[in-house]
A and B are shown apart, each in its own frame.
Chain A
Amino acid sequence: QKEVEQNSGPLSVPEGAIASLNCTYSDRGSQSFFWYRQYSGKSPELIMSIYSNGDKEDGRFTAQLNKASQYVSLLIRDSQPSDSATYLCAVNRAGYSTLTFGKGTMLLVSP
């Protein structure tokens, strides 16, 4: 069983702080990694994708991938109350069209 593990949280950070969300995966054949944000009662929204080792930055978001450690993380700088949501990590295996999702980490940003 291919698994994607995330701490369920909630992760509480004050406004303006850096939020660090972590995800580990078991399938060494994984090649594509995605972070989705899901507000309560809404559908997931793609915020970051990363395919190679290292960091990828997009605005306040940075995705970090370490394939040797089977670890992917999402950093949110200058966290805002509007960032409060559940963040889902998703992983794709090479040659497959499906994603395996973690159960998500709830982030709470307090004013």
Chain B
Amino acid sequence: DGGITQSPKYLFRKEGQNVTLSCEQNLNHDAMYWYRQDPGQGLRLIYYSQIVNDFQKGDIAEGYSVSREKKESFPLTVTSAQKNPTAFYLCASSIEEGGRYNEQFFGPGTRLTVL
């Protein structure tokens, strides 16, 4: 089955710890994205990558880091510098066709709670 997987589904972190959220896709999509969603809020873009070994900051990149060593994988690290990391984290991917990026498809999400 083609799709986007995220792990873990739930993650608990102690203050001061770094944690890494996994995102894998087997759709052969070019671009991948990380969003954060807080209760009652829309999706806010953290980082995105259009090609392997390249990525750009989104609107709220402070306290986060990413890598894109493989087309299929785009892990997100939530560092201790992120002051309020408790949120629902969503990974998405999209395909590029003729210079246009089409629909984004989402993984099931990871719910991170800081204890």
User: Which of B43, B48, B100 touches A101 (beta carbons < 8 Å)?
Assistant: B43
- Cα separation A34 to B102 with both chains bound (whole Å): 10
The 20 sampled A-B contact pairs (Cβ below 8 Å) are: A32-B100, A34-B103, A42-B108, A43-B90, A43-B106, A43-B108, A44-B43, A45-B106, A46-B104, A88-B42, A90-B104, A95-B99, A98-B58, A98-B101, A99-B104, A102-B42, A103-B40, A103-B41, A103-B42, A104-B42
B-contact 0/1 string along A4-32, CB 8 Å cutoff: 00001000000000000000000000011
Q: Shortest 8 CB-CB distances between A and B: which pairs?
A: A103-B42, A97-B101, A43-B106, A101-B43, A101-B42, A43-B109, A97-B31, A44-B106
Interface size on A, residues (CB 8 A): 24
Number of interface residues of B (CB under 8 A): 24
The CA-CA distance from A96 to B101 in the complex, in Å, is 7
Residue of B nearest to A97 (CB): B101
Residue-wise interface mask of B (84-97) relative to A, using a CB-CB cutoff of 8 A (1 in contact, 0 not):
00000010001010
Q: Does A110 contact B (CB under 8 A)?
A: no
- Whether, in the assembled complex, A49 has its beta carbon less than 8 Å from a beta carbon of chain B, the answer is yes
- Between A44, A95, A103, A104, the greatest number of chain B beta carbons within 10 A of the residue's beta carbon is seen for A44
Are A97 and B42 CB-contacts (below 8 A) given A43-B90, A49-B103, A92-B101?
Answer: no
Q: How far is the CB of A19 from chain B (nearest CB, A)?
A: 20
Q: Which of B31, B43, B105 has the most CB of A within 10 A?
A: B43
- How close is A1's CB to chain B, nearest CB, in angstroms? 10
Residue of A nearest to B49 (CB): A97
Binary CB contact string for chain B from 52 to 63 against chain A (1 if under 8 A, 0 otherwise): 000000100000
Question: For window 33-49 of chain B, which residues contact chain A by CB distance below 8 Å?
Answer: 33, 40-43, 45, 48
Shortest CB–CB separation between residue A7 and chain B, in angstroms? 13
Q: How far is the CB of A11 from chain B (nearest CB, A)?
A: 16
Q: For B48, what are the chain A residues with a Cβ–Cβ distance below 8 Å?
A: 97-98
* From A36, A95, A98, residue with most partner B Cβ within 10 Å: A98
Which one of A43, A46, A90, A95 contacts B107 once the chains associate, using CB atoms below 8 Å? A43
